[in-house]
Structure 1
Amino acid sequence: MDLRRVVGWPLVTAVVAATCFFLGIRLLSTATGVLAPGIEPLLGQAIRGDLSAVGTSWLVSYAVLNGSVVAAVSVTLTHSGLLDVSELFAAIVGSRLGASGVVIVLGVFEYVQKESYSLRDATSLGVLSAIVTFALFVPVTAGGLLGYWLGDPTTAFVGAVPSFGIGQDGPVTSAVDALVALLGPHLGGLVAVALLFGSFRLFDRALSAVETDRFRAAVVPLARRPWATVLVGFVLTSVTTSVAFSVGVFVPLYNRDFFERDELVPYLLGANVGTMSDTLLVAVVLDSAVGVVTVVLVMATTGLLAVLFVATGGRFTSLVEAADEAARRDPRTYAWFVAGLVLLPALLVLVG
């Protein structure tokens, strides 16, 4: 079936919506990046050990709605000698755990502009994304911290990292940087939020004209190939350097039943591995051999775990679906789940 016939005229509206969404995410990322000097003292003072590094980066990622900025700041702090290697690892995985909450916030944006379903339904993809993220990063965090406590696993590889000396300039980056410089980071952040709200309204207008059944008949055969879906999630997130975009763009589609949970779980696995590509680029730009090795180790272990999960067939997906059902069973369990996303990192900061 020809996908163009299925989508029809809403295609242009959807492209404009996706463009607004992408620009909103990039603008928000740049605005929070400008505010990064204010984040550095907070991270430097709050991090007193590996566990507090996980919790602090997790919470700060919530606060700035951007885990990539927190991970990048952590690399710079290590490069400056303010964090040791194990704390860098802990801060990176903590930022990834915190980044999963950004998708929940995007679901709240969707709920505000379209209140035809409950807040639990609007944030359902965020909950699913958080569960998949925890399945990947909790064992990686536990195993990694144990490895660092027994001995630094990066020492064997640091000497093999060459000097790169590259930048990350581009037309989109230059345009967004200029806009933030003109508006300032705070107003730029508000414009970014407005773009996100506007993109969801456009998505809603485009999707309301598309028949769900015909869309699924055209697209789902592709989504039913788990290995290809993992690769798409990894590549799209690596290219856009934003899990908020690569996953968040599916929020309105998922909320309107264009995709099922089992179809997106492999995609979320790939996205969680690809989301560290920008942190790797920061480490390369800084010529931080320790940063490069640490990020590569995190990507390699999460990638291996993602492959193992997909190789189980539908068993991993079934476990994720069961956890998702449990988290969203009723308002009380949903509230406890969301509260746990804040209380757990706060506890890690306290026990530090």
Structure 2
Amino acid sequence: MQEAIEPPAVESPQESPALAPAHRRAWPRTLASAALAMFLFVLALELLKRGARPLAPVLTDVLGIRNAVNTLGFGWLVAYAVLSGSPVAAIALSFFDQQVIDETQTFTMITGSRLGASFIVLFVGFLYHLRGHRRGVSIAIGVLCLLVTATIYLPAMGIGMWLLQNGWLARLAPTRATQLTSLIDLIYDPILTRLDLIFGRVPWLFFFAGLGLLLGAFNLLDRALPAMHAGRSAFQGIDRLVYRPWAMFLLGMAVTSVTLSVSVSLSILVPLSARGLVRRENAVPYIMGANITTFIDTLFAALVMSGEQAFTIVLVEMLSVAAISVLVLLAGYRLYERSVLVLLDGIMHTNRTLALFMALMLIVPVLLMLWR
């Protein structure tokens, strides 16, 4: 049974005026860290591009990645491994740039990366449970994120593949992407030329160096962004929004646009729910909104890597998810909410049902990779 959530008994600390000058002095360092993170992010993308093609035999011959179903499972599993979806989406784009996978396979691999990224919220919830918070509150939010993401993304995947096949959104891609790539080549070619002297004989090392640098860039960017905590002023007025689905939907979009990470924006729900500020039913539209703007960094990566065609793939993914989410909010939100919460109650009913769900989340992507 779902445990009742205790009313919040926490203080709402206001920021001391004495701290304001310190925060103002921190802004130059924050901007410098963000600029360095973006520089490393683009460099990591360039390294991934150079190292992607040598890994083609590994994908096809060793892992048996041959169709769009396989790439869906592959992206899902790799997101589990790195506890984030954005690096996996960048990897998919690097494979597409080097013609290791085709347009449809790239699309499904990005979808899989977003499904796997929701796992980080469940992981954070488990850590909160270990710290003494009740399982029904902390872990339930993680399960809810997985359920909402799956029930929105899977229908959106069908719409997106249909849009890709018809090519209707190709005209929306920026036409000056080549100018951006020329500027990037001018900046990064001297660095890559020197790295060729190190990795030239083992080109696949470019890929793993790029992956490590990409994870480091995201970590640096997370540290550079303003911290968001349940007790800070940014969330003190959330009690006025939680019962308005559209307000929570827009809040999820806004927070993810700032953090550039759906893992970060969704993980915020764990302490908020543990402290009674957000109930599980209020989190549903927030998760839907966060799952749309999570593609902002991937859109930029698409322009850097492969230009217009890759941009179209990510844009189709983003618009498909947005279309399903808006349709749910307009036409049948209460029915959708009740259905998801009933499923959540069934999963959280006992430790056995929760363990079965966790096993299913591990087995399904493996089975997708083995699909022939």
Q: Quickly name the TM-score band, shorter chain normalised.
A: 0.7 to 0.9
The alignment status of 1:131 with 2:147, answered yes or no, reads yes
Task: Report the equivalent of 2:344.
Answer: 324
- Deviations for 1:86-107, whole angstroms, at most 9, x for unmatched residues? 1011111111111111111122
The alignment status of 1:163 with 2:179, answered yes or no, reads no
Task: Report the equivalent of 2:205.
Answer: none
Aligned positions of 1:180-195 closer than 5 A: 185=212
Deviation at 1:39? 12
- The verdict on how the C-alpha distance between 1:241 and 1:292 changes in structure 2, with shifts beyond 3 A counting, is same
Aligned pair partner of 2:278 in 245, 253, 259:
259
Structure 2 letter corresponding to 1:111: H
Deviation at 1:6? 6.1
Q: Distance in 2 between matches of 1:7 and 1:221?
A: 15
- The verdict on how the C-alpha distance between 1:292 and 1:335 changes in structure 2, with shifts beyond 3 A counting, is same
Deviation at 1:221? 1.9
The alignment status of 1:289 with 2:308, answered yes or no, reads yes
- Deviations for 1:193-220, whole angstroms, at most 9, x for unmatched residues? xx99xxx9x96xx86xx9xxxx999532
Task: Report the equivalent of 1:88.
Answer: 106
The alignment status of 1:56 with 2:89, answered yes or no, reads no
SS state at 1:351 partner? coil
Task: Report the equivalent of 1:174.
Answer: none
Q: Is the 8 A contact 2:172 2:312 kept in 1?
A: no
The alignment status of 1:73 with 2:91, answered yes or no, reads yes
Structure 1 residue ranges without an equivalent (≥5): 169-183
The alignment status of 1:7 with 2:20, answered yes or no, reads no
Q: Is the 8 A contact 2:52 2:100 kept in 1?
A: no
The alignment status of 1:154 with 2:129, answered yes or no, reads no
Q: Is the 8 A contact 1:233 1:269 kept in 2?
A: yes
Range with bigger deviation, 50-59 or 302-311: 302-311
Q: Is the 8 A contact 2:160 2:316 kept in 1?
A: no
Q: Is the 8 A contact 2:133 2:274 kept in 1?
A: no
Q: Distance in 1 between matches of 2:269 and 2:15?
A: 16
Task: Report the equivalent of 1:237.
Answer: 256
Deviation at 1:350? 0.5
- The verdict on how the C-alpha distance between 1:158 and 1:77 changes in structure 2, with shifts beyond 3 A counting, is farther
Structure 2 residue ranges without an equivalent (≥5): 1-9, 24-29, 185-210
Deviation at 1:10? 8.1
Q: Distance in 1 between matches of 2:53 and 2:278?
A: 37
Q: Is the 8 A contact 1:100 1:126 kept in 2?
A: yes
Q: Is the 8 A contact 2:169 2:316 kept in 1?
A: no
Q: Is the 8 A contact 2:12 2:236 kept in 1?
A: no
Larger CA Rg, structure 1 vs 2: 2
Deviation at 1:141? 2.3
SS state at 2:141 partner? helix
Task: Report the equivalent of 2:334.
Answer: 314
Task: Report the equivalent of 2:26.
Answer: none
Deviation at 1:245? 0.9
Aligned pair partner of 1:140 in 151, 156, 164:
156
Q: Is the 8 A contact 1:6 1:218 kept in 2?
A: no
Q: Is the 8 A contact 2:96 2:103 kept in 1?
A: yes
Deviation at 1:159? 8.5
Structure 2 letter corresponding to 1:342: L
Q: Is the 8 A contact 1:68 1:279 kept in 2?
A: yes
Q: Distance in 1 between matches of 2:145 and 2:326?
A: 17
Q: Distance in 2 between matches of 1:236 and 1:263?
A: 16
- The verdict on how the C-alpha distance between 1:158 and 1:287 changes in structure 2, with shifts beyond 3 A counting, is farther
Q: Distance in 1 between matches of 2:296 and 2:172?
A: 21
Q: TM-score if structure 2 supplies the norm length? A: 0.69
Q: Is the 8 A contact 1:67 1:96 kept in 2?
A: yes
Q: Is the 8 A contact 1:284 1:292 kept in 2?
A: yes
Task: Report the equivalent of 1:228.
Answer: 247
Q: Is the 8 A contact 1:57 1:91 kept in 2?
A: yes
Task: Report the equivalent of 2:297.
Answer: 278
- The verdict on how the C-alpha distance between 1:287 and 1:60 changes in structure 2, with shifts beyond 3 A counting, is closer
Q: Distance in 2 between matches of 1:331 and 1:222?
A: 33
- Deviations for 1:146-169, whole angstroms, at most 9, x for unmatched residues? x38xx823376258641231799x
Q: Distance in 1 between matches of 2:260 and 2:105?
A: 23
Q: Is the 8 A contact 2:73 2:368 kept in 1?
A: yes
Aligned pair partner of 1:115 in 132, 142, 145:
132
- The verdict on how the C-alpha distance between 1:278 and 1:159 changes in structure 2, with shifts beyond 3 A counting, is closer
Structure 2 letter corresponding to 1:110: Y
